[in-house]
Structure 1
Amino acid sequence: MKQKIITALTKDVGLKILAFIFAFLLWLVVVNIDDPTQTRTFTSVVTVTNGDVLKSAGKLYEIKDGINTVSFRVTAKRSIIEKLSPSDFSAVADMNNLENEERIPVTIAAKSYANYITISSKQNYLYVVLEDEKTQRFVVSAQTTGTVEEGLAVDTVTSSPTVLTVTGPEDVVSSISSVVATANISGVTSNFTESVIPKFYTERGDEVDAKELTLSVSTISVSVSFLNTKAVDVVVKTSGTLPDGLTLDSIKTDPSSVMIIGETSALNDVTSVTIPESVINLSDLTGSFITTVDISSYLPTGVTLADSSSAKVTITVLMAGETASTFDVTADNIEFRNVPEGMAVTLNSSDVKVNVFGSEAELDALKTKDVKGYVDCSGIAVGESQNAVLQFENIEGVTIQNTSVTVNVTEDDSKTSHATEDN
């Protein structure tokens, strides 16, 4: 029996070996037809490592043209390659390997199926642009936006911190002129603190893109406190009595009322802002006139003006039957009298606006060319932008108020040379 088995195994050995080889080759053909080798291109985002190498040298980098990806070819069986995605690969650029200060070799490695795939040997690079780094400290300007609620006024606006340290590309940091932290006060009725992201502006007011900047803090705390407000009338007191022949018509102020701010207890005690009688002495008047006073010093203790621009109040005093108007007097209609020898005087503007009083009919009939004035230059000295009094001789039925003008006084070379020649 044993001999029969041996005979069966050894009979036609060559044919049997040939059949085995043929079967193996057929298996290979079938396998490759069913799961062939394929090559595909993948694109991955590059991760930069050891960026601090540049920072320690006072440099920053920016990826050139914003392209931070690389493409590469991978070869593997179809059953493998169909399972792969870009997340199965790592693309790393080590800043220690920076070449020519412009490119970094990218190392590509497989995270999955590493033993079953082949990555093309072509060297990929990440291209960068180097920039000088700059650090600068800026004072934070705390501001508000929005509409303050009625009956309130912003008292103080502060920031914490008050100084912000900014680090980034030198050209970007150098373009910054101001750092602003703005809190929105719309709908707010009590003191509050808000965390806001600071904004950066150039000298021209253009906003600076902060994406490349590193800040000492990411947000700024802006604290806003409010005070109560109250509208009060401006009252004018007078002293003395009008000379014979004059009858007072009205005394008006512009503005007629102002907004004041302060604690509630202080505001409750204030009913008006009074301009004292020492300002308007009726005994000194010769007719209607207009004057401007600063009411800041007349405010009661504990209150201030909500708007500092309203501190200047214009007082118009009109006599009976008169009205007020303004005329522009040209420089040609202004005469300089008693100019010292060897000096020249010129007006520091092309015209002067003056107050004119009279009946409506008289003012309507008055022509600009008829309004002429003069400056008495006695005792004047050489110098730029000097104040002088522009005076007018009254036209019948019309009063023109004297006003202050600015003049320039220089040495008159022509007169000096003539005097030398005469000698």
Structure 2
Amino acid sequence: MKKMLTKLKMSLTNNIGLKFLAVLIALVLWLAIVNVNDPEKTITVSNIPISVTNESAITSRDMVYNVKSEQYLNITVSGKRSIVSNLSAEDFRATASLKELSKVNSIPVDVTAKNASLGRKITIVKQSAQTILVDVENLEEKDFTDLVVEYTGKVADGYVAGLSSMSTDEVTVKAPTSIIDKIKKVAVRCSLDGTNTNISKKCPVILYDKNNKEIKSDEIELSDKKIRVNVNVLRAKQVPISTINKDELGKPADGYVVDDVILSSDSITVYGSEESLDSIESLDIQDDIDVSDAKGDVTQNIDVTGKLPKGLSVSGESTITVKVLIKKLITRTFEYDASEVSLNDLSSDLDVQLVTKKVKVTLQGEEEVISQLTKDDMAISADLGKVKEGTTTVHVDVAVPDNTTLMNNVTIKIKAKAK
């Protein structure tokens, strides 16, 4: 037995250097085999959302924040291929704590693995964003008192929305200062829903900017999100504007004429009691228009409110804009040989000789009329029934076309002698 132990000891200690080398080679070979099967690998994990934490550090001071930077980042991760190959954005957490807000409004971003065990097996080599930028501003409260009712839809045909009232005439808005400064109108939006009866319901409060664009934000708080609106729904009637006689608007300056009359609307809608509605069939505004001595177009705004019978009101726009188009007339002169004048009723005892050689006729009228005329459109004649022997000047009658005016006194000189 002793010999066996001695022999075993000698076999273990004999050539110990070679045996150690063999073990070392075996270890290296094992590590090589392991690394060949599961080597180190570096990958990029994209679109990890950045969560802002510790918001109370801002909100407790009546302030709000908005993130200006991209709210996602990418990271480069290294580790065993078997571990990193299946990693995704869901395996990581990116946080930015408002407690660490700097003077330049930046917050450092910390990225960690959600699983602590995973975090020990990988290395985050780099991240695409080290910080995020935020805007920080104060919250402000402001009271708005000039509330208006804004209707959507229509009431039933033959009815209008009359006077309205609200359960409160004030709304307090709490929001970031930048939003408060944009508010130019506060409206209560009420749907009419085709009704023909009075309305009483709660309607939402809407904020508008200077461009009449609705302002929406999760950071807006209203003292009343809805306000009760009461609307009187009344019978209505469409009343036409009486036809305007353009020849009874006054006389424009010499050489000018009324060409046309244009109304902004040819009717108005009025509402009130049945008796009052029955008392009106049309509305006359003729006497309110005057173009006397005008040399150009005349525009007048006529408020019809005072022209309505008692008990009626106007629904919508109460002003009718009247535009009277004034046109300048043109003149044109036509020349005739004196022999073209028809001589009528000359005594059979006389002969006449024309002293005048040419006759001129000047007409005035609208260009589209005057420009189309020829000499043949007029008849010129002279009555010689009272002519006696000698030289005399005789009036020439001119039959002018419609819509024209003769502008000169036409005469001819003749010499009469006995036969």
Deviations 1:200-221 (A, max 9, x none): 222xx24265337422269435
Task: Flag the 1:98–1:271 CA change in 2: closer, same or farther, 3 A.
Answer: closer
Q: Does 1:198 align with 2:206?
A: yes
Offset at residue 36 of structure 1 (A): 1.5
Contact 1:135/1:166 (CA < 8 Å) preserved in 2? yes
**Equivalent in 251, 255, 272 of residue 278 of structure 2:** 272
Task: Flag the 1:18–1:162 CA change in 2: closer, same or farther, 3 A.
Answer: farther
Offset at residue 141 of structure 1 (A): 2.7
Q: For 2:88 and 2:314, how far apart are their aligned partners in 1?
A: 66
Task: Flag the 1:230–1:200 CA change in 2: closer, same or farther, 3 A.
Answer: closer
- SS in structure 1 opposite 2:109? strand
Q: Does 1:62 align with 2:28?
A: no
Offset at residue 144 of structure 1 (A): 0.8
Q: For 1:136 and 1:186, how far apart are their aligned partners in 2?
A: 32
Q: Does 1:47 align with 2:33?
A: no
- SS in structure 1 opposite 2:35? helix
Task: Flag the 1:306–1:35 CA change in 2: closer, same or farther, 3 A.
Answer: same
**Equivalent in 75, 79, 82 of residue 78 of structure 2:** 75
- After superposition, residues 64-213 of structure 1 pair within 5 angstroms as 64=68, 66-112=69-115, 113-120=118-125, 124-139=130-145, 140-157=147-164, 162-185=169-192, 187-188=194-195, 191=199, 193=201, 196=204, 198-202=206-210, 205-207=211-213, 209-211=215-217, 213=219
Contact 1:91/1:106 (CA < 8 Å) preserved in 2? yes
- After superposition, residues 235-384 of structure 1 pair within 5 angstroms as 259-261=270-272, 267=274, 272-273=278-279, 290=287, 294=306, 298-299=310-311, 304-305=312-313, 307=315
- SS in structure 2 opposite 1:101? coil
Contact 1:60/1:132 (CA < 8 Å) preserved in 2? yes
Q: For 2:72 and 2:267, how far apart are their aligned partners in 1?
A: 70
Q: For 2:150 and 2:61, how far apart are their aligned partners in 1?
A: 37
Task: Flag the 1:3–1:270 CA change in 2: closer, same or farther, 3 A.
Answer: farther
Offset at residue 143 of structure 1 (A): 0.4
Task: Flag the 1:162–1:90 CA change in 2: closer, same or farther, 3 A.
Answer: farther
Tell me the TM-score normalised to structure 1 length: 0.52
Larger Rg: 2
Task: Flag the 1:168–1:67 CA change in 2: closer, same or farther, 3 A.
Answer: farther
Partner of 2:36: 33
- SS in structure 1 opposite 2:111? strand
Partner of 1:215: 221
Offset at residue 176 of structure 1 (A): 1.7
Deviations 1:323-379 (A, max 9, x none): xxx998xxxxxxxxxxxxxxxxxxxxxxxxxxxxxxxxxxx899xxxxxxxxxxxxx
Question: Which sits farther off after the overlay, 104-113 or 46-55?
Answer: 46-55
Q: Which runs of 5+ in 2 are unaligned?
A: 241-264, 289-303, 327-402, 406-419
Contact 2:152/2:192 (CA < 8 Å) preserved in 1? yes
Q: For 1:42 and 1:89, how far apart are their aligned partners in 2?
A: 9
Q: For 1:34 and 1:50, how far apart are their aligned partners in 2?
A: 45
Offset at residue 61 of structure 1 (A): 3.0
Task: Flag the 1:257–1:54 CA change in 2: closer, same or farther, 3 A.
Answer: closer
Partner of 1:11: 11
- SS in structure 2 opposite 1:260? strand
Deviations 1:129-148 (A, max 9, x none): 33344332224432012333
Partner of 2:243: none
Q: For 2:154 and 2:225, how far apart are their aligned partners in 1?
A: 23
Partner of 2:400: none
Contact 1:201/1:208 (CA < 8 Å) preserved in 2? yes
Percent of pairs identical after alignment? 21
Offset at residue 50 of structure 1 (A): 2.7
Tell me the TM-score normalised to structure 2 length: 0.52
Q: Amino acid of the residue matched to residue 315 of structure 2?
A: D
Q: For 1:99 and 1:27, how far apart are their aligned partners in 2?
A: 51
Q: Amino acid of the residue matched to residue 201 of structure 1?
A: D
Q: For 1:189 and 1:327, how far apart are their aligned partners in 2?
A: 42
Offset at residue 107 of structure 1 (A): 1.9
